[in-house]
Amino acid sequence: DAKTTQPNSMESNEEEPVHLPCNHSTISGTDYIHWYRQLPSQGPEYVIHGLTSNVNNRMASLAIAEDRKSSTLILHRATLRDAAVYYCMMTTDSWGKLQFGAGTQVVVTP
Amino acid sequence: DTGVSQNPRHKITKRGQNVTFRCDPISEHNRLYWYRQTLGQGPEFLTYFQNEAQLEKSRLLSDRFSAERPKGSFSTLEIQRTEQGDSAMYLCASSSSSGGSNTEAFFGQGTRLTVV
């Protein structure tokens, strides 16, 4: 199974940026990098995904290393509502099965 | 709200009983996934449908588990002879196949099963 490596937890102060790293050294050329987050007692929520180029949306930015073996999710200004578990995954097949790891618990302090 | 809907939200059952959960995906989505999540862990893939065809089943899905999507719309997940180890959150997600893996999945709120 395709594996990613993330830190167990990260802390940030409110309104400061958060950089969440992810290693995916086994990534192949057609694998997309996906990020989801899960708030307490909720189902996972899509955040962002990309293939090679950096991506931006209203929630976050995704910076993908040139060799694609790592990526960083950037929350530009953390709010208390961003406190969640963030999952980094690769989709390694054509029908988008997501293989969740343990994720990174983000703690935002006021 | 036309997101993914799961029912019931909570289910408490006695060991040995059968339970069935329902998932209503986003209407235009032809892909549907089931995941299971235990406390402190990330969701684990159980099975996947494209339209009415069940295309993959995880080894986690023992013979006591069965999933159906008879008309390619809603899906049901049944657990027979429940065991305490089945206690978990069961999550359903849907997506469109048009983007391959270049697409996002939408998750429901989950059904929390407690087997006593």
Strands B44-50 and A104-109 turn out to be unpaired
Instruction: Look over chain A and give the mean of its residue pLDDT values, rounded to a whole number.
Output: 92
In chain A, residues with a C-beta closer than 8 Å to the C-beta of B100 are 94-96
Task: Flag if B41 and A102 touch (Cβ within 8 Å).
Answer: yes
Q: Give A38-89 pLDDT, tens digit per residue.
A: 999 899 999 999 999 899 999 999 999 999 999 999 999 999 999 999 999 9
Percent of chain B with pLDDT over 90: 83
Q: How far apart are CA B96 and CA B115, in angstroms?
A: 33
Sheet-wide strand order for A9-13: A9-13, A104-109, A84-91, A32-38, A45-50
Q: How far apart are CA B95 and CA B109, in angstroms?
A: 15
Q: Give A2-15 pLDDT, tens digit per residue.
A: 589 999 999 999 99
Q: Give B78-91 pLDDT, tens digit per residue.
A: 999 999 999 999 99
Best of B7, B101, B103 to substitute, by most chain A Cβ atoms within 10 angstroms, is B101
Distance from CA of B82 to the nearest CA of A (A): 23
Q: Give B38-57 pLDDT, tens digit per residue.
A: 999 999 999 999 999 999 99
Per-residue pLDDT, averaged over B95-115, amounts to 89
State which amino acid sits at residue A34. Answer: H
How many A-B residue pairs are in contact by the CB < 8 A criterion?
64
Option in A32, A96, A103 nearest B31 (CB): A96
Percent of chain A with pLDDT over 90: 78
pLDDT of residue A98: 87
Which residue has better confidence, B16 or B102?
A: B16
Which residue has better confidence, A91 or B105?
A: B105
Could you tell me the pLDDT band of residue A1, with boundaries at 50, 70 and 90? low
